[in-house]
Amino acid sequence: MSLSADLCLGTVEAIANRLELEETVHTSLASAMDGSPVGAHRVLARNGVAELVYVGMTVEAFGLDSHMCFAFTSAASPVPHFTVDSVLAGPHYAFHLDLIPRLDPGANLAYIDHCYGPLTEVHDETMQIEGLTPAHLSPRQWQLMSAWMLAHRADEDGFRAVFGAVAAYRDHWLGLVEAGVPDEATGGATAEQLADRDARNRAAIFNPEVDPVWARVDQLLGPETSADIQASLKTAARTPSTLQ
């Protein structure tokens, strides 16, 4: 297993095992150029707990090994979503790690303190790792995520050094899923308000006009498959799982 696959798939496995998620979708992905197999689109779920979307693409001819994980809590939950992706493109690695807020961070200090405060030390230590350089993201992309987001390019040593941060973010998120967010930290947000914000937030995060990665996915997999993956990310945990 490649280093980039190890980081993401190890995270997927850890989340699935702890939350007892089961695979509901496993779709093979093929190159739009020659029809050759390039990866998989998987969904793992447990009703009322979480739904995880994984997308992996490996194209040796391009030197590409890309793995993405988004683990979503239910539409009415204040618990942040979790995401990590890991990429090897040519000789360079890159990763993105975050807990995606479910409330407006600027108006909910207690929420920030509860959900993100415990990550501050790990965040700050990771920022000091040698071999990391900040990723080139637009201000809109940063604004849609959290201030604790880590998004960097890395050499091999730097990439290996971030495994601990990914585990720390993952385990903190799993604790939030299991314990929930106390009412005093949610600012009185209703289930309807949480669901509405979540829908609008995801529509922005997975908007091809916001994130240029979707143009590359269109080229690699074809626009129809790319749109299917985007739809999966926008709707996960917002509709009943196929698990019975």
Band (pLDDT 50/70/90 cuts) for residue 61 is confident
Topology of domain 3-235 in CATH is: oxygen-dependent coproporphyrinogen oxidase (3.40.1500)
Band (pLDDT 50/70/90 cuts) for residue 151 is very high
* Range name among 61-65, 171-175, 190-194, 203-207 with the lowest pLDDT average: 61-65
By C-alpha distance, which of 243, 242, 206, 234 is closest to 75? 234
Tell me: the pLDDT tens digits for 6-49?
A: 999 999 999 999 999 999 999 999 999 999 999 999 999 999 99
For residues 216-229, one letter each, b for 16 or more C-beta atoms within 10 angstroms of the residue's C-beta and e for the rest, the string is ebbebbbeebbeeb
Q: What is the pLDDT of residue 244?
A: 31
DSSP secondary structure code for residue 180 in this structure: -
**Amino acid making up residue 63:** G
The reply to whether the predicted model has a pTM over 0.75 is yes
| C-beta atoms surrounding 150 within 10 Å | 22
Tell me: the pLDDT tens digits for 169-196?
A: 999 999 999 999 999 999 999 999 999 9
By C-alpha distance, which of 42, 79, 44, 78 is closest to 57? 42
- CA gap 45, 197 in Å, rounded: 22
**Amino acid making up residue 72:** F
- CA gap 158, 132 in Å, rounded: 6
SS3 breakdown of the chain: % helix, strand, coil, rounded to 5? Answer: 45, 25, 30
Query: Which stretches of 12-161 are assigned E, i.e. beta strand?
Result: 22-30, 37-46, 50-59, 64-72, 81-89, 92-100, 132-134, 150-154
* CA–centroid distance for 241 within its chain: 19
User: Token digits for 150?
Assistant: 């880590």
Q: How far apart are the first and last CA of the chain?
A: 33
